[in-house]
Amino acid sequence: MIDPVLPVKRANQLRTVRPVKTDQPVTHEVRPVRRAIRNLDWDLLWEKFGIATILVVVWILAAIGTPRFAIPDNLSSVLRQSAFVGVASVGMTIAIIAGTFDLSVGSAQALSAWTAVTIAPHIGVLPAFIAAVAVGGIVGLLNGALVVLVRIPAFIATLGTMFLVSGLTFILTNGQTARFNGKDFVWWGNGLMGNIPVPFILFLFCAAIGAFTLHRTSFGRYVFTIGSNVKAAHVAGVPVNRTIFLVFVVVGLFTGLGAALLGSRLYSAGPGLEPGFELNVIATVVLGGTRLAGGRGSMFGTVAAAILFATLSNVLNLNHVDAFVQRVAVGLVLLLALSVEGVRQRLVERWNRSQRPGS
Amino acid sequence: MVSKRAVWAVFRFSPVGLTLLLVGAAFALLTPTFLSPNNLLNVCTSASVVAIVGLGMTLAIASGNFDLSVGSTAAFAGCITMSLVPQIGVMAAIALGVLSGGLIGWVNGLIVTELRVPAFIATLGMLTIVRGAALIYTRGRDIYLFGRTEYKVLSSGMTPVLLALALAVLFSLLLGQTRFGRHILATGSNIQSARRVGVRTSYVLWGVFAIVGATAALSGLILSAQVLTGNGRLATGLELSAIAVVVLGGTPLTGGRASVPGTLLGSLLVAIINNGLNLLNVSVFYQNVTLGLLLLGALTLEALAARRAPNRATS
């Protein structure tokens, strides 16, 4: 290092100046492919297609290693299984891109599913689904009000609603599981259209709506802007409060739909429907490449991640792996996938350091 | 008007303390048994189980992180210890149990600092892994400890309460008086600046996560000692209760600040409300509702207080 107090002239004398060779051929004409590879934004590529690539690899490996995996019945059951977490993850993806968070989806799911199962025999299937979606929306309204109007941090506000709604569900249900196996109702969770499960079609439909909202509407642009930098968004005139409020409602609506599908799939719903559901949903979104810090993410990744989790538990089931070991496997996959980026960063830093010794 | 200002002053000084007094007084008037020594001991015991993890969680939140794996760690340590007691004796088993919790916490820290996974996801992954490990270890069954009543020393009488108090004193001193404590707060308020001024933030986070793991393990040991049964499903959902208690106590989620006495009071408040509702024959189902309302109510008041004092930063 050169002492900054030295006069500029002397400093220039101390520095060894490398002469510029102008007659040397420009590198990119010689090795265009290598240069293109070097210029690729690996970070972005990994974020966009990493999980989808892993999914394809896992499907190929599973098809080779597990004989009963690649038959239509099994594949359709994998896709069906991915839908129930998946539909809720669509909303959560939008929330996490906006830089917020919803821990109340688990209890909202139980309440919505119970609502659908309870009232479907009385008022019909479609109204029951609408009611379930509405219940989710109401929980979302509550979350939005708490975060936007009262200004409670989203993590705690939704933690509070989580306890509140799960308690309410226990009180309403009296701890009992509601059952209904009407044919029209259970078709939504168990039916097939062609060879493709109905809930998976709905999941793809929801994801398409979500992707359209994120990338083709001003609301979606606001979501990305707020997630990148909430203060800058505010200064730039983005209606931050209104957008965040809507985001929570959207999360609630998707959660409600996913819940109704699950209730239909199981013919039943009770207060303890799926403990830890909120964390599964968040894990799916994050595995899909959406940054927890907000501002970056994609619906495509979420769909791939939901299918990947479903595939994983299916393959482990087919190979008679213990349910307890499955938990360990799921956790390991999450950690491995999420540490790729950090490890790559470290390698790049180390490489840069070795290029410039002493700096 | 003076009284209103006095109440406001107490509220500003310790919102959770004031709520605690009011709720305690209400239950003392409504139920004859609330103030009996036995019941108070019950309340304090159940408060200290959450408080012990909560204290560790206070450090984690002060350092700008979370630990979602505490429930699983508690279960894992509880099961390990229960199965080791017959072989190596009570004290050695307890020591090993707490140590295993510390190790799990240290692994959390490694994942956060070395693999650069955000703490939320790192500990979420560890939540499922450690819970799975506990279930595999017990094969999903209960571990009973027949005739080893000396293990009960952990949960009987004043032990849990004393442990919680001792940890609270220890952590207050740690945060206020030691270099490590100051480094934790510095890391929590701004990790980049802390690194610039020479704080080895990686080591700080390893330490913090190891402490959280150890406190989680201790809570798990107390829980398992209460029923002399180890089970892989022990302490499910403990992580969110612990975070709720810390937040109730006034530790902000943004990091850099911590209120150790607040965490104690917060866990006491939750325990008192649950106990009082039990004594009033209110269904257990209402406990979650009250916890949710309490959390939201406390934070609403805090947000309103922040608005009343505009010179304080609200973010």
Instruction: Please give the pLDDT value at position A321.
Output: 86
Residue stretches of chain B with pLDDT short of 50: 1, 311-315
The length of chain B in residues reads 315
Mutate to test the interface with A, among B240, B285, B291, B315 (most CBs of A within 10 A): B285
For B36, residues 6+ apart whose C-beta sits below 8 A from its C-beta are: none
Q: What is the mean pLDDT of residues A303-308?
A: 94
pLDDT tens-digit series, residues B186-233: 999 999 999 999 999 999 999 999 999 999 999 999 999 888 888 888
Of A82-86, A272-276, B225-229, B262-266, the least confident:
A272-276
Residue bearing the bigger pLDDT, A47 or B265: B265
Rounding to the nearest 10 degrees, give the CA dihedral for residues B43, B44, B45, B48.
130
pLDDT tens-digit series, residues A163-175: 899 889 988 988 8
Partner-chain residue, chosen from B132, B236, B290, that has the shortest CB–CB distance to A328? B132
DSSP label at residue B212: H
Q: Which residue of B has its CA nearest to A284?
A: B121
Instruction: Please give the pLDDT value at position A65.
Output: 87
Q: Helices A183-190 and A240-266, interaxial angle, to 10°?
A: 110
pLDDT tens-digit series, residues A307-325: 999 999 899 988 888 888 8
Q: What is the mean pLDDT of residues A183-210?
A: 91
Q: Which residue of A has its CA nearest to B129?
A: A328
Tokens coding B168: 């609270």
Question: Which residue do the tokens 């707490």 mark?
Answer: B98
Shortest CA gap A149–chain B (Å): 10
Q: What is the mean pLDDT of residues A334-339?
A: 84
Partner-chain residue, chosen from B122, B133, B243, that has the shortest CB–CB distance to A328? B133
Quick check: B58 and B172 in contact, CB under 8 A? no
Q: Tell me if A171 and B116 make a contact (CB, 8 A cut-off).
A: no
Q: Please spell the DSSP secondary structure of B94-151, one letter per residue.
A: HHHHHHHHHHHHHHHHHHHHTS---HHHHHHHHHHHHHHHHHHHHTTS-EE-TT-GGG
- Chain A neighbors of B292, CB-CB under 8 A: 160-165, 167
For residue A20, pLDDT beyond 70? no
Nearest to A290 by CA among A203, A205, A210: A210
Helix (H, G, I), strand (E, B) or coil at A197: strand
Instruction: Please give the pLDDT value at position A1.
Output: 41
Instruction: Please give the pLDDT value at position A19.
Output: 53
Q: Tell me if A163 and B236 make a contact (CB, 8 A cut-off).
A: no
Instruction: Please give the pLDDT value at position B62.
Output: 94
- Chain A neighbors of B118, CB-CB under 8 A: 292-293, 338
Instruction: Please give the pLDDT value at position A327.
Output: 83
Instruction: Render the burial of B138-159: b for 16+ CB within 10 Å, e for the rest.
Output: beeeebebeebeebbebbeeeb
Interface pTM, i.e. ipTM:
0.82
Instruction: Please give the pLDDT value at position B218.
Output: 94
> Which uninterrupted H or E stretch holds A192?
strand A192-193
- Chain A neighbors of B68, CB-CB under 8 A: 279
Instruction: Please give the pLDDT value at position A21.
Output: 56
Per-residue CA distances from A356 to A19, A349, A352, B196 (Å):
19, 11, 7, 20
Instruction: Please give the pLDDT value at position A112.
Output: 95
Q: What is the mean pLDDT of residues A147-175?
A: 89
Partner-chain residue, chosen from A152, A168, A286, that has the shortest CB–CB distance to B121? A286
Helix (H, G, I), strand (E, B) or coil at A179: strand
- Chain A neighbors of B315, CB-CB under 8 A: none
Residue bearing the bigger pLDDT, B275 or A10: B275
DSSP label at residue B34: T
For residue A9, pLDDT beyond 80? no
**What residue ranges do the domains of chain B occupy?**
40-304
Q: What is the mean pLDDT of residues A205-219?
A: 95
Residue bearing the bigger pLDDT, B171 or A27: B171
- Chain B neighbors of A167, CB-CB under 8 A: 285-292
Mutate to test the interface with B, among A156, A341, A346 (most CBs of B within 10 A): A156
Q: Tell me if A156 and B295 make a contact (CB, 8 A cut-off).
A: yes
Instruction: Please give the pLDDT value at position A141.
Output: 96
Q: Tell me if A160 and B292 make a contact (CB, 8 A cut-off).
A: yes
Angle at A305 between CA A301 and CA A310, to 5 degrees: 155
Measure the CA–CA gap between A341 and B79, rounded to whole angstroms: 35
Instruction: Please give the pLDDT value at position B274.
Output: 87
| Paired residues of A179 in beta bridges | A268
Q: Tell me if A152 and B253 make a contact (CB, 8 A cut-off).
A: no
Mutate to test the interface with B, among A96, A164, A240, A340 (most CBs of B within 10 A): A164
What confidence tier does A104 reach under pLDDT thresholds 50, 70, 90? very high
| Paired residues of B144 in beta bridges | B229
Instruction: Please give the pLDDT value at position A46.
Output: 75
Q: Which fold has domain A76-343?
A: ABC transporter involved in vitamin B12 uptake, BtuC (1.10.3470)
Name the percent of chain B lying above pLDDT 70: 94
Partner-chain residue, chosen from B247, B285, B314, that has the shortest CB–CB distance to A156? B247
Mutate to test the interface with B, among A148, A159, A161, A332 (most CBs of B within 10 A): A159
What confidence tier does A6 reach under pLDDT thresholds 50, 70, 90? very low
Q: State in words which class domain B40-304 has.
A: mainly alpha
Partner-chain residue, chosen from B132, B291, B292, that has the shortest CB–CB distance to A324? B132
